[in-house]
Amino acid sequence: MSVEHDTETEFTIDADWNDMYVGGEWRSSSDRETIEVENPATREVVSEVPAATDDDVDDAYAAAVDAQEEWRNDLPQERGEIIEEVQRLIEDNHEELTELLAIESGSARPKASREFTSTGEMMRDVVTYPFRMTGDHSQSKIAHKENIVKREPIGVVTVISPWNFPFQLSLRAVAPAIALGNSVVLKPATETPISGGLLIARLFEEAGLPDGVLNVVTGHGSEIGDHVASHPDLSAVAFTGSTHVGQRVAKNAAEQLALPAMELGGNNPHVVLDDADLEQAVDAGIFGSFMHQGQICISINRHLVHGSLYDDYVERFVQRAAELPVGDPLDNETIVGPIISESERDTILEYVEQSVEDGATLELGGTADGLFVEPTVLSDMRNDMAAACNEHFGPVAPIIPFETDEAAIELANATKYGLAASVHSTDISRARTVADEIEAGMVHINDQPINNEPHVPFGGTKASGMGRYNGEWIIDEFTEPKWTSIQHEPRTYSF
């Protein structure tokens, strides 16, 4: 059943989101089960979305396959113009989208603004992608032969996106895939099906994207996730989420010989050497720990601080953390908003409790009011304590002492993850030496790990994933090379 939308409210939280987008049509949820969408700050149900079935998933892939045959042959400027128009719509509806993100995902204004800023920077770069599918021309070892290598769209890209940065982390895969001539099946997180999926479908529909190039199926990952990730029509899977789930998604994709692009969990160290600027290191540590309540794959999970600075660092850090406003993301003063769900909150508090039982000192926080977890600081921490060795994904700052650069490197690397890290020192050469030894896909000197730029590779090593996003790296992920040779004069064969 096709649904018409009220154009005056189509991008607001109050719009009708009670349908999914398949083959250019909005499918009503009237004959399906629905999923309630809650405001994590108030626990109010703000909308309901359809719970897709396996049949819906099959229809989405069928539409994507049909649409991609024509879309791949559209002129590059036409594909770029669609991306450009989506970016204009985002800018024109900034306030509505910010409110939607705050209500659905618990994003305080600093986080929402950063999410939209990063998305805008990425989209402006993606506009150029259709003209960056460059190939190669080379000589041959065979006389009078010409070798041509060109890049072609990979086909149907599956995007499975998370709830923490739902808008940005969906679009960072959806937009490049579409710009490069692919079609997309997008499965947003169950907690954020609007900002991570249906909103994006409306933006592309409004921008004039042909029917079927983008399809959005909302539903429980436990019910349709395996079918989405193992569908025979997919060519690549872009997944952002936990390592445990990512391993299952990658296995399903590999069985279809589809390329998995995985950005998974992290346990990111913030290393403060003995010659660091203490104030700068604390400022960076506060931002890197408490932006979006620590619910970021690249947020600081562990503060590794040299013993000579340790007490001062803890004292200043606690003072700064205690001043952070906690509250409803719709309040412009709020910095720390709600945790996304009860289960996530309970896990965070359990890690804190276990660490205190094992000898850590609770300097600040450690409790919650509803889904609002207080900014929490733990001193006297060890690397093997629960809040340090696990990806706590909350507003928690475990602070661990060390005595030598070698010890800091060993602590930083004593984890299965390798996503991001930061190193503070007034000696850049020394900081580079430490950074080079840290096993992570991204390391930032005299900063904190929450960084993303559209022209540099984003991704991790070890259990933090495979593949890279952004620029030439995502172009490689979503296209495939094709070698064509031309024999210009008759060739002599051996028989």
Distances in Å between the alpha carbon of 106 and those of 99, 160, 263, 349?
10, 20, 22, 18
Examine residue 69 and state whether it is found in any structural domain, yes or no. yes
Question: Contact 284/271 with Cβ under 8 angstroms?
Answer: no
Token representation of residue 287: 């931002």
254 and 330 share a domain? no
Q: Which bin fits 6, alpha (ψ -120 to 50), beta or left (φ > 0)?
A: beta
pLDDT band at residue 481 under the 50/70/90 scheme: very high
Whole-number Å distance between alpha carbons of 206 and 86? 8
Q: Do residues 238 and 312 share a domain?
A: no
Tally the C-alpha atoms within 13 A of residue 5's C-alpha that lie toward its C-beta. 25
Q: Are residues 434 and 468 in the same domain?
A: no
Question: pLDDT category, 30, cuts 50, 70, 90?
Answer: confident
Pairwise CA distance, residues 326 & 5, whole Å: 36
Q: What domain range is 310 assigned to?
A: 268-445
Checking DSSP bridges between strand 156-160 and strand 236-240, what pairing results, if any? parallel
Residue 9 is assigned to a structural domain of this protein = no
The pLDDT of residue 91: 93
CATH code, domain with 392? 3.40.309.10
* 490 lies in some domain: no
- Does 472 lie in the same domain as 433? no
pLDDT of 106-142, one tens digit each?
Answer: 999 999 988 998 999 999 999 999 999 999 999 999 9
DSSP percent split of the chain into helix, strand, coil, nearest 5? 40, 25, 35
The domain total for the chain is: 2
pLDDT reported for residue 214? 98
**Strand ranges for 230-291 from DSSP E:** 236-240, 259-263, 268-272
Statement to judge: residues 195 and 56 lie in one domain: yes
Q: Are 142 and 149 in contact (CB under 8 A)?
A: no
In angstroms, the CA 243 to CA 464 distance is 7
Helices 109-126 and 76-92, axial angle in degrees (round to 10): 160
pLDDT digits 0-9 by tens, 369-412 = 999 999 999 999 999 999 999 999 999 999 999 999 999 999 99
Same-domain check for residues 282 and 229 = no
Q: Assign 454 a pLDDT band (cuts: 50, 70, 90).
A: very high
Average pLDDT, the chain: 95
Residue 199 lies in a domain: yes
What's the confidence (pLDDT) of residue 6? 46
Identify the band that residue 5 occupies on the pLDDT scale cut at 50, 70 and 90.
very low
Residue 274 domain-assigned? yes
Inter-residue contact 196 to 72 (CB < 8 Å): no
Residues annotated as catalytic (active site), given as ranges: 263, 297
SS3 (DSSP) at 15: coil
- Pair (291, 419) in one structural domain: yes
CATH number, domain of 52, equals 3.40.605.10
Q: How far apart are the C-alpha atoms of 49 and 361, rounded to whole Å?
A: 44
32 band by pLDDT with thresholds 50, 70 and 90: confident
Is 292 inside a domain boundary? yes
pLDDT tens for 286-298 read 999 999 999 999 9
Q: Is residue 102 pLDDT above 90, yes or no? A: yes
% residues pLDDT > 90 (the chain): 94
Do residues 388 and 301 share a domain? yes
Beta strands in 278-375 (DSSP E): 300-306, 361-364, 368-369, 372-373
Residues 250 and 362 in one domain: no
In a domain, 49, yes or no: yes
- 489 pLDDT higher than 90: yes
In this prediction, residue 31 carries a pLDDT of 76
Place 451 in a pLDDT band, splitting at 50, 70 and 90.
very high
How much is the pLDDT for 10? 86
Same domain, 105 and 217: yes
259 and 274 inside one domain: no
**Angle CA 116–117–120, to nearest 5:** 85
- The predicted pLDDT at position 2 comes to 40
- Report, as an integer, the average pLDDT of 414-425: 98
Determine the Cα–Cα distance for residues 35 and 219; give it in Å rounded to an integer.
7
Are residues 313 and 302 in contact, defined by beta-carbon separation less than 8 angstroms?
A: no
Residue bearing tokens 């809040």: 387
Query: Does one domain contain both 232 and 373?
Result: no
pTM of the model: 0.95
Task: Determine, yes or no, domain membership for 203.
Answer: yes
Residue 9 has pLDDT above 60, yes or no: no
